Structures are given as structure tokens and as C-alpha cells.
Structure 1
Amino acid sequence: MYIHVNGELIPKEEAHISPFDHGYLYGIGLFETIRVYNRHPFLLDDHIERLNKGLQMIRINFECSTDVWKTRIDELLQVNGYSDAYIRINISAGIGELGLTANPYNDPTTIIFSKPLSVNGKISEKAATILKTKRNSPEGVFRLKSHHFLNNVLAKQELGNNPRREGIFLNEKGYIAEGIVSNVFWVKDRIVYTPALETGILNGVTRKFICSLLRRKQIELKEGFYEPDHLYDADEAFMTNSIQGIVPFYAVDKRHFPGNNGEITKILLNNYNKYRETLMSSKQLKKGLETDERQKTD
């Protein structure tokens, strides 16, 4: 297997980073996970936009266009022989002296990882549980997809390794936040609910896509502060992330849900599957839906 390190393709056995990299020493770095369907990196523009904004915030002076990242991803897919894959772009601060610094980082370490995935091999439904581990507050103004993952690791240790389960964080005030590796949604009386960004959650790229899709489909969406009982009282529920897409919940704790048979869930799944091999950004969704409507009337 090959990986991309600082712009070069190398066998994974030859890859290395310095022990003085501040990504290793202090967790200063960001990453993006991207799902490739039939060699198409779904919503890559949105991932790179979030990545570039985050790098500016933590003063890592590095920016590549979507075209550059796509070229590197294409090279990695080709050399490894993958068509459907998990991609992780990883940017750490780079080499520095021991001790914290207020200076910007001008020579970061960039790595692209990949592994093959099966389109038909995903788990179709999961059960979820409300965690005892609380979601920590974001370190800055908003949550970044950073290397600082200890809160998620502690939650995973609480939940265990069962791939058919997801843990749901409450924030420090007791409001529903997000999953260990996901954003969460639920439906009541055809209204879709999801925690507001102000609860301290990551603004997931797939979350953003689903919110945009709901508005385009004129399905009411409410973002806010909700306690667990609001979720337990729902008609259907699901999680989203960039690798697994939309995953319905068949249960949250002792409350059972229809899973794949949820009315709104089916609408979203059908549209996600329709656009996953074409869209580079959720901004393109409007054009895609308009094209679908024209085709219906032709």
C-alpha cells in the first residue's frame, strides 16, 4: 500500500515523521475523512473549505486548492487500485522545538491515507446509547476536526467495540450534542431536529449536506438545544458522517425506531445515494435538484 507524504507517493513501510513534530508532541493538526464512491471524492470542496479555515485558525500556513488535493487523491487511488475508498487528509504542525510557541507553523507535515471500502458492505442500521462521558467544550470559538481526540477515545472506551452501536454525547449542560464519530438527527411529525452548532458540536460535512437537502426538499428543519427525552419521543432517528453516510438508528437506549423504514430517512437515503458519485459541494445540490425536476416534467 502507498500513502502520500508531503506531496510524494511512498510505500507505507517507508513513511515516517519526526518525533519533534508538534502534531505528535502537542496534538496541533487537523484532518478530514472523505468517502470516495466510484473514484469520486464526495463533497471534496466542502472538506477542503473546512480544512483551510481550520488551518488559518491554528496558524498553520498551508493551503492547497481542491484541484491539487483531488489530483493527489486520484494518484493514490490509482496506485493502490481502489475505486471505493476511505481517504484521510492529515496535516500536522511540523517540526519545532520542545515547548509551546505563539509563532505560526510554516512547514507542516501532510499525509493522505487510503483504505478500500465496499459500497455494499456497510452496516445498514445501528443502535445508539446516551453516554455518561460528557462532550467537552471546543478549545476555540468552534469545534475543529483536530488531532485532539481524547474525549472521543474515552467515549469509545465506554461504549466498546461493537460496530453496530454508536454513543451519543450530551454536552456539559445536559443537551444532546453529537455521536462519537457522527452528527445526530431525529424526526417528529415530519419535522427534523438536530443539535445546534452552539452545543459545541463539529459542523460535519455530511450534516451540512443533509441540512441543505432538507431545506431544498422543503422539509422543516429545527436546530436547537434538546434534552434526551426529545430524542426518545421521536418517530425516527439517524446519524451521519462522511464515511458511513446516513445510518438509521433502530434503537436509542430502550426506545425503538423504524430504522431503514423511516419515512424521512428513506427520502434522505435515496437522495444521498443519487448524488454521492457526482457532487463536489453541497452548494451544487440546488442545481442537481432543479435538473431532476426538469427531467420529471419533460
Structure 2
Amino acid sequence: MYLYLNGEIIEEKQARISPFDHGFLYGMGLFETFRVYDGHPFLLDDHLVRLQDGLADLKIKKSLNRAQVLEIVKDLLLSNGLQQAYVRFNVSAGNGEVGLPSTDYENPSVIVFMKELPSIIVEKQAIFLQTRRNTPEGEYRLKSHHFLNNIYAKREVGKNPSVEGIFLSADGFLAEGITSNLFWVVGEELFTPTLETGILNGVTRNFVIQIAKSIGLRVQEGYFLPEEILKSDEAFITNSIQEIVPLAKIETLNLLGKEGPVTKRLQSVYTKYRTSLWSKNELAKEIQHGPKQIE
């Protein structure tokens, strides 16, 4: 594997970071994961907006734009002989004194690597986790290096990739999956937990909400108890690598899974635009100039 480290494309075995990097010492770092389809980094602009917002919040001075990131991605695709890829884009705080800082980080490290896409999982089953979702360290949840809560949850679920764990908040409300956002369908209404529960503001989550509204679904974000999802017809989870994954079962409740009509409609639109869009905000324009109705 070839990766990008602070301006250079190098072999994996050459990669080095300092033990005094605060991303290592204190978890002061952020990352984005996204997919490349036929050379196109899907929704890259949305990922960069979230990344830049997080960097500002952590006082890590680094400005990244589409052109810069696209050049890195293209170089890595060429070096690794890939056209479809899983990409992880990391920005770490960089070296600092031992001790908790109060000033800005002026020299962050950028590490980017990619790999072949994992096998597609057509549908999953889910359980409610005993591990509760921790509260964000700040005002909202960052996509940061702090992943211990997720690791505890994954250990609870086990190795089976076809089983997803559903976090509940400390107050007992539905939150999100271990590395995914959560949705369910009742009739022609789509439900998802509010960001106020402390969940990640997922890029794919926002795109799916945009799709749903474009095809006439009513979307409700709010505080929901576990029994409410157990009244659903369909449910699915989302993230940028797995896309939209139907749930065939939650606890003992059997669902429509991959045969769910609403889930299939959302998947159809998602697939149609994943080789062209840079941001969810482009969707309405694309639909307006495309077919009048999405089947």
C-alpha cells in the first residue's frame, strides 16, 4: 500500500509519526472516510465542510480545499492501481509539548490512505446495545480519534459483519449504529434520531434525508424510544462506505430488509448520483434536469 504523509506519497512501511504528536498522545485529530467511484470521490465537498468545522473547533490550523484533496486522491489511486476505493483522510494535531495545550496547533500532520472496497453486505440484523452512547466531548460529536465507546460496542456485538449494534443514549433514546446512522420507515414517513441525541452528523445521513425529501417522503428527526423502531415496516443504516444497508431484523422483529420498497427507492437514487455529485446540495438541481419522476 502507498499512502500520503505530509506532502509525500510513500510506501506503507516507510510511514512514521512522532510519539509527541498530540493525535497520538491525546486523541487530538479528525478523520473522514469516503468512497471513490470510478475515480470520483463522492460527496467530497460535504466531507471537507465537516472536517474544516471540526479542525476549527479543535484549533488545528489547516485549510483544505477540493483541488488539494483531489490531487492527493488521484495520486494515491494511481500509485495503488485503484479506481474504486475506500479512503481515510486523517488530520492529526501534530507535535507538541507533553501536557494539555491551551494554544492553537500550527503544524498538523496529514495522513491519507486507501484500500480496496470491502465486500458488499446486502442486509444486516441489529440488536440494542447494552453499551450506551457516550456524550460528545464538546457541543457536538466530532469524527475524531476518540473511538473507545465504539470499540466497546463492537466487542459486545462480536466479529460477525452482518450484525449491527444500535446505541441508545444515556437517557434511553435511539441514537445510532456503531459506525452508522439509523433510519426506519412507517408508511410513507422516514424517521431518524435528532443530532441532539449526540450522534454524528453523518454525510450519508444528510444525503439520504435530501433524497427522501426529493421523492416525497416526510422526514421526522426527533427523540425516539426503542419500542418505536419496533413498530416500523423497514429500517436501514447508513455510512459513506456501506451506503444504505437494509435491516432484515431488529432483536426478534422481522423486517422487509432488502425487499423494502422505500429502502429500494432510496438506494436507487443514491446509486444513480454517486459517480457525479460533490455535495448533497447538488441533488435538487440534478433531479430537476433529469427524469421528472424517480422510480
**Structure 2 counterpart of 1:84, which letter?**
Q
Residue in 2 aligned with 1:174?
172
Using the TM superposition, give the Cα deviation of residue 148 of structure 1 relative to its aligned residue in structure 2, in angstroms: 0.5
Q: Secondary structure at the match of 2:46?
A: helix
1:287 to 264, 282, 285: 285
**Structure 1 counterpart of 2:221, which letter?**
E
CA distance in 1 between counterparts of 2:250 and 2:74 reads: 39
Gaps of 5+ in 1: none
Q: How many residues align?
A: 294
Using the TM superposition, give the Cα deviation of residue 294 of structure 1 relative to its aligned residue in structure 2, in angstroms: 5.5
CA distance in 2 between counterparts of 1:51 and 1:290 reads: 29
CA distance in 1 between counterparts of 2:107 and 2:14 reads: 20
Q: Secondary structure at the match of 1:101?
A: coil
Residue in 2 aligned with 1:90?
90
Q: Tell me which moved more, 86-95 or 213-222.
A: 213-222
Q: Deviations over 1:243-285 (max 9, x none)?
A: 0100000001111111111011010010111011111100110
CA distance in 2 between counterparts of 1:7 and 1:208 reads: 31
Q: Deviations over 1:214-251 (max 9, x none)?
A: 11222100000001100011000000000010000000
* TM-score when normalising by structure 1: 0.97
1:163 to 141, 147, 161: 161
Aligned pairs (5 A) from 1:59-74: 59-74=59-74
**Structure 2 counterpart of 1:212, which letter?**
Q
Q: Deviations over 1:157-181 (max 9, x none)?
A: 1111101011000000000000000
| Superposition RMSD in Å | 1.1
**Structure 1 counterpart of 2:211, which letter?**
L
CA distance in 2 between counterparts of 1:229 and 1:151 reads: 23
Using the TM superposition, give the Cα deviation of residue 293 of structure 1 relative to its aligned residue in structure 2, in angstroms: 2.9
Q: Secondary structure at the match of 1:47?
A: helix
CA distance in 2 between counterparts of 1:29 and 1:72 reads: 19
Residue in 1 aligned with 2:197?
199
Q: Tell me which moved more, 132-141 or 210-219.
A: 210-219
Residue in 1 aligned with 2:275?
277
CA distance in 2 between counterparts of 1:16 and 1:49 reads: 28
CA distance in 1 between counterparts of 2:73 and 2:231 reads: 43
Distance change in 2, residues 1:295/1:264 (3 Å): closer
Residue in 2 aligned with 1:21?
21
Gaps of 5+ in 2: none
Q: Secondary structure at the match of 1:293?
A: coil
* TM-score when normalising by structure 2: 0.98
Q: Tell me which moved more, 285-294 or 129-138.
A: 285-294
Residue in 1 aligned with 2:217?
219
